[in-house]
Structure 1
Amino acid sequence: MKDSTLEQEIDLLKGLARDDRKSVEIIYGQNYNLIQALVVNNNGTVDDAKDIFQEAMIVLFDKARSGSFELNCQIRTYLYSIARRLWLKRLNQSDRRNADFDDTNETQVIVEEDVAQHEQKDAEFEMMHAAIHSLGEPCKSLLASFYFKNKSMQAIAESFGYTNAENAKTQKYKCLMRLKKIFFSQYKKQDK
């Protein structure tokens, strides 16, 4: 990649990491048609292409936000490789794969590891969501107040009726241990 192209690509990734609408629109505009052609030319529909593009954008977004992602190809090539991998996986799952898969539009970048990590994270988030959901009250609200609403221990003590911030802190710890136990019991079941 030329230096000016590389700089533009890096700026787009930085914008994507900041959730900058303009950067997202540029990436979308420059790359969607390529992904749509890949999917539609290989037994897919326009709706399939939209889904695959969204999934590829989420992987790219996660990578851009990680801070450790080093782009060594064009965003177009990276997105194409992710979309290709996702589409092949979906075709294999649905037995729609055609032996003459048309893959002449772009060079390939190995992204299997990135996609696998993303899928693993999604599964873990789902398990954590289920664990939080099964946690029950008052633990669910207490942890949400502290971690999501950023309330102080003193404010939590007052709203939950604890005598002081130390008691609220102790209860938060107990709730975290319960959540951890629920999460890891689900995690172990998944591994079996």
Structure 2
Amino acid sequence: MEYLSAFLASLPDFSKLLPATTLVAILIFLVKEYLEARRRTAADKRKVRALKKVLGRECQLNYSAIDRLRDTLAAIQEFGVAEDASRLSISESPAGGYVFMITDRDGSGRGGVLVGIQRDSLLKHLVEIAALDEMFYSKCEFVLDGLSEADHVYQSLVHGPEKHFPSTPEHYYEGVVDYGLRELNDSIAALKELYLVCTGSVLRQGKLR
């Protein structure tokens, strides 16, 4: 509005050069442009708020999935799967995800369900976010990198070693655990950072669905 006031203050000088009707037309044009810019800015802010709500929920879903995956890797390490890969069994669940069971040396076991990493919403809105808010985009891009690594760990675990894997299954799972625990900690940290930007709150608990 200060620019508009400055323009009005300069009208006496311009009136010597331009007819009054031209000055009025220019003034109307500038007012319309100013109001339209304010409308676009307000609309962009509403879009960003809506996107943050959607992605905040996706952060919670992925936090739950990655935290469960991280716990599973820690259990694989604890129960000595690197010594005997037969202690670990993983099968696809009809309800979605994968069911795993780890058997300890004494015959006791631990099991659960692993669910996949969700990136669809983030990928779908990434270009729009880039156009709306550069800082927000950089946070989203960082999280997307972390989710890609988490998905790689997930896929490596649930599908196991390939038929022609050059070493033993024990070595395979040992490598997955070592790599996965390191990468998943970074993925969790990135999720927490984005969630704070999206909601203003600290991410302490995920969502299962």
Tell me the TM-score normalized by structure 2.
0.25
* Greater fraction strand: 2
Structure with max Cα Rg? 2
Of the two structures, which has the highest relative contact order with CA contacts closer than 8 Å and spacing of 6 or more?
A: 2
